[in-house]
């Protein structure tokens, strides 16, 4: 027993925030040291979707749900088009010792190790989450080095503000996407509508289930890199243009903003998450960094046109400044916890966007109607 206790103690590692606050834990997944922005998500399910969401690029993600790993991982639930995880690191309270699910193909521990994702388990995630809520998201480091060395690495890491991470997750070449949600969709195996509209989706770090929802709504989808010019997008003769989610500071992705300026008013436009922020910037608005962001599958949003409350999935650290929007841009949705921007629309440009994720993988499906709203806008054109 003494030997086992000594071995466990020697194998302990730390998560250390840039402000010097340290959290002990045990190594999980890949061994080594990693640095990124420490954030938390309040989602209760869908840890694999979190791991593979490209919007989490550069971040050390804390799961507030206490037990993680109990259903293993499988290839179908990956949200990245390439199927790989994108988080910089993973922070857990209790790592389940078993994976028990008929769809499981691999344990979470083995999956993280295979893909080189450094993780830490046994962390007091309640204390960590409260600290991040009180003091704000900040850079951190996970590893076996002394606490002072990890704190130094965290302090020296680039700040998320001003960071263009889209260039790390956008594809190098255009591609077509024709996979529907199938039996897992809300409409079942026959839920996808026949292709009617050609949509060009600009990929800033798109989630696969967003593309599936576009296919389900009756769209032929061509995906293009974030660096694609407005002229090249229009040369594909789209009926509509979709702006995807993605990581980093929207204000740092100037090339994407310039492209959108050349697309406004040419075709119906629908944006999600980073796409919402980039649309606001292209309209002349501004964005700013939230204290600790909105991440989770239980975020309440109010539709200002109908008064309807939607429970939504979200993952963002930056937000549109509502006071900066031009007069022709209408705020359509707000977050009920803090009143921040969750949607906008410009009727004469046939452009609209939301900050949250209507494809909700994982999460509630209150907002799936937005994909039909996009196809209706293309019908009108």
Instruction: Tell me whether residue 359 is one of the annotated catalytic residues.
Output: yes
Instruction: Tell me whether residue 273 is one of the annotated catalytic residues.
Output: yes
DSSP letters for 256-319: HHHHHHTTTTTS-EEEETHHHHHHHHHTT--EEEEEEEEEEEEEEEEETTT--EEEEEEEEEEE
3-state secondary structure of 332: strand
Q: Which own/partner contact pairs does 193-198 have at CB distance under 8 Å and 24+ positions apart?
A: 193/217, 193/218, 194/218, 195/219, 195/220, 196/375, 197/239, 197/240, 197/375, 197/378, 198/222, 198/236, 198/237, 198/238, 198/239, 198/240
Contact 345, 329 (CB under 8 A): yes
Average predicted confidence (pLDDT) for the chain? 94
Residue from 213, 219, 273, 319 carrying the catalytic annotation? 273
Query: What is the topology classification, in CATH, of domain 166-380?
Result: Rossmann fold (3.40.50)
Integer CA distances (angstroms), 262 to 70, 166, 173, 267, 282, in order: 47, 20, 21, 11, 9
Tally of CB atoms within 10 A around 219: 29
Contact 216, 368 (CB under 8 A): no
pLDDT number for residue 192:
75
Contact 341, 322 (CB under 8 A): yes
CATH value of 11-156 in 3.30.70.20, 3.90.230.10, 3.90.1710.10, 3.50.30.20? 3.50.30.20
pLDDT number for residue 360:
82
Query: What percent of the chain is predicted at pLDDT more than 90?
Result: 90
CA angle 311, 315, 318 (to 5 degrees): 115
pLDDT number for residue 365:
83
For β-strands 287-303 and 309-320, DSSP reports them as antiparallel
pLDDT number for residue 69:
97
In the DSSP assignment, the letter for residue 351 is: E
Instruction: Tell me whether residue 49 is one of the annotated catalytic residues.
Output: no
Burial class of residue 372, CB neighbours in 10 A (0-12, 13-18, 19+)? middle
- Predicted model pTM: 0.94
Q: For the chain, which residues score pLDDT lower than 70?
A: 1-10, 183-191
Residue from 86, 197, 316, 357 carrying the catalytic annotation? 357
For residue range 220-258, what is the model confidence (pLDDT) as tens digits?
999 999 999 999 999 999 999 999 999 999 999 999 999
pLDDT number for residue 2:
25
In the DSSP assignment, the letter for residue 188 is: G
Strand partners, 177: 221
The domains of the chain are located at 11-156, 166-380
């Amino acid at each position: 027993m003494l030997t086992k206790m000594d071995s466990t103690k020697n194998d302990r590692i730390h998560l250390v925030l840039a402000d010097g606050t340290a959290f002990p834990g045990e190594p999980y997944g890949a061994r080594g040291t990693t640095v990124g922005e420490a954030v938390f998500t309040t989602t209760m399910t869908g840890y694999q979707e979190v791991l593979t969401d490209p919007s989490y690029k550069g971040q050390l993600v804390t799961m507030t749900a206490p037990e993680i790993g109990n259903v293993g991982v499988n290839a179908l639930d990956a949200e990245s088009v390439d199927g790989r995880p994108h988080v910089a690191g993973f922070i857990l309270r209790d790592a389940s010792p078993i994976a028990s699910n008929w769809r499981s193909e691999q344990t979470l521990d083995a999956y993280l190790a295979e893909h080189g994702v450094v993780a830490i388990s046994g962390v007091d995630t309640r204390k960590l989450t409260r600290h991040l809520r009180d003091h704000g998201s900040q850079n951190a480091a996970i590893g076996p080095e002394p606490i002072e060395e990890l704190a130094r690495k965290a302090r020296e890491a680039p700040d998320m503000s001003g960071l263009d991470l889209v260039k790390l997750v956008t594809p190098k070449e255009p591609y077509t996407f024709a996979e529907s949600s199938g039996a897992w969709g809300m409409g079942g195996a026959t839920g996808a509508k026949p292709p009617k509209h050609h949509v060009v989706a600009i990929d800033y770090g798109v989630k696969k289930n967003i593309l599936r929802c576009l296919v389900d709504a009756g769209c032929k989808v061509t995906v293009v890199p974030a660096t694609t010019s407005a002229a090249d997008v229009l040369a594909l003769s789209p009926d509509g243009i979709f702006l995807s989610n993605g990581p980093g500071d929207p204000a740092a992705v100037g090339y994407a903003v310039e492209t959108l300026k050349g697309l406004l008013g040419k075709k119906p436009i629908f944006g999600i998450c980073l796409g919402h922020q980039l649309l606001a910037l292209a309209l002349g608005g501004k964005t700013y960094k939230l204290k600790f962001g909105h991440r989770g599958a239980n975020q309440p949003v109010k539709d200002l046109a109908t008064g309807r409350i939607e429970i939504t999935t979200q993952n963002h650290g930056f937000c549109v400044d509502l006071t900066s929007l031009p007069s022709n841009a209408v705020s359509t949705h707000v977050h009920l916890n803090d009143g921040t921007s969750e949607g906008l629309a410009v009727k004469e440009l046939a452009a609209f966007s939301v900050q949250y994720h209507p494809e909700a993988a994982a999460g509630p499906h209150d907002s799936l109607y937005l994909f039909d709203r996009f196809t209706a806008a293309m019908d009108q054109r």
